[in-house]
Structure 1
Amino acid sequence: MRIEVDDLTRPAVVGLLAEHLADMHATSPACSVHALDLTGLRDPAVTVWTAWDGDTLLGCAALKRLSADHGEVKSMRTASAARGRGVGATLLAHLLAEARRRGWTRLSLETGSQDAFGPARRLYLRHGFEPCPPFADYTDDPNSTYLNRLL
């Protein structure tokens, strides 16, 4: 598996991110969807990585800088055909290593509280994330679960 910084111009990546947003809107009320669109992912505070097997896109993940020592996991998504192959775990390990390299001491994330997000919550908990209160601009929301990990 090859992981690389992505410029969000390749059709496969744009398609995977569109699928991600569509799923978020299908499983959560609009006011509780915090996934970034392409414009949000192109913000200078955000870096996106994609995972590939040859020319096949396996997944994507992003980090958003919140402060000098705090970042947020954004847009974690595994392509449907690649699920169950460890893509999410590999991308998350990459994000954790990158956050440490950047000198961050904390990494946070928001994910859904609904059953559809159970696999994501289990992935994050297996990698040392713990429940936390809302962070950054988030507020209490019954449709959201907030997690963080000290690095």
Structure 2
Amino acid sequence: MDIKLDDLTGSEVTALIGEHLQSMALHSPPESMHALNLEELKKPEITFWSAWEQSELVGCGALKELDGEYGEIKSMRTSSSHLRKGVAMRILEHIIEEAKRRGYKRLSLETGSMDAFEPAKRLYASFGFQYCKPFSDYIEDPNSVFMTKEL
């Protein structure tokens, strides 16, 4: 699998982000949906990667810098045709390594509390992420869970 920096202009990536946003809208009420659209993902504090198997897009993920020592995982998504193949694990490993390289001391994330998000929560827990209180600009929300990891 080749994980590379992405400028979010390719049609495959555009489609995968669209799939991600549709899925989030399906499982989360609008006031609890924190997924970023293409324009939001292009902000300077966000680094976005796409993951490829030959010429096929298999997933994506992003890292948002909250401050010089703190990052947030955003837009983790595996293509629906590549679920349960280790794509998310590899992208998460890549993001954690980049956060360490940058000198971050903590990495956090927000995900849904509903059953549809159980695989994501299990993945994050397997990497040592623990449940925590809301961070950054998030507030308590019964539709969200927050997880964090010391690096």
1:71 alignment counterpart: 71
Tell me the TM-score normalised to structure 1 length: 0.99
1:116 alignment counterpart: 116
Partner Cα separation in structure 2 for residue 67 and residue 108 of structure 1: 12
2:96 alignment counterpart: 96
Partner Cα separation in structure 2 for residue 84 and residue 120 of structure 1: 11
Please state how far the C-alpha of 1:132 moved relative to its aligned partner. Answer: 0.6
Deviations 1:45-68 (CA, angstroms, capped at 9, x unpaired) = 000001000110000000000011
Partner Cα separation in structure 1 for residue 14 and residue 25 of structure 2: 17
Identity of aligned residues (%): 51
Please state how far the C-alpha of 1:78 moved relative to its aligned partner. Answer: 0.1
Partner Cα separation in structure 2 for residue 130 and residue 95 of structure 1: 17
Q: For the aligned residues, what is the CA RMSD?
A: 0.4
Q: Which runs of 5+ in 1 are unaligned?
A: none
1:10 alignment counterpart: 10
1:25 alignment counterpart: 25
Deviations 1:8-32 (CA, angstroms, capped at 9, x unpaired) = 0100000000000011011000000
Please state how far the C-alpha of 1:98 moved relative to its aligned partner. Answer: 0.2
Please state how far the C-alpha of 1:34 moved relative to its aligned partner. Answer: 0.2
Q: Kindly provide the amino acid, as one letter, of the partner of residue 85 in structure 1.
A: K
Q: Kindly provide the amino acid, as one letter, of the partner of residue 18 in structure 1.
A: G
SS in 1 for 2:128: coil
Please state how far the C-alpha of 1:79 moved relative to its aligned partner. Answer: 0.2
Q: Which runs of 5+ in 2 are unaligned?
A: none
Deviations 1:77-128 (CA, angstroms, capped at 9, x unpaired) = 0001111110000000000000000000000000000000000000000000
Q: Kindly provide the amino acid, as one letter, of the partner of residue 131 in structure 1.
A: Y
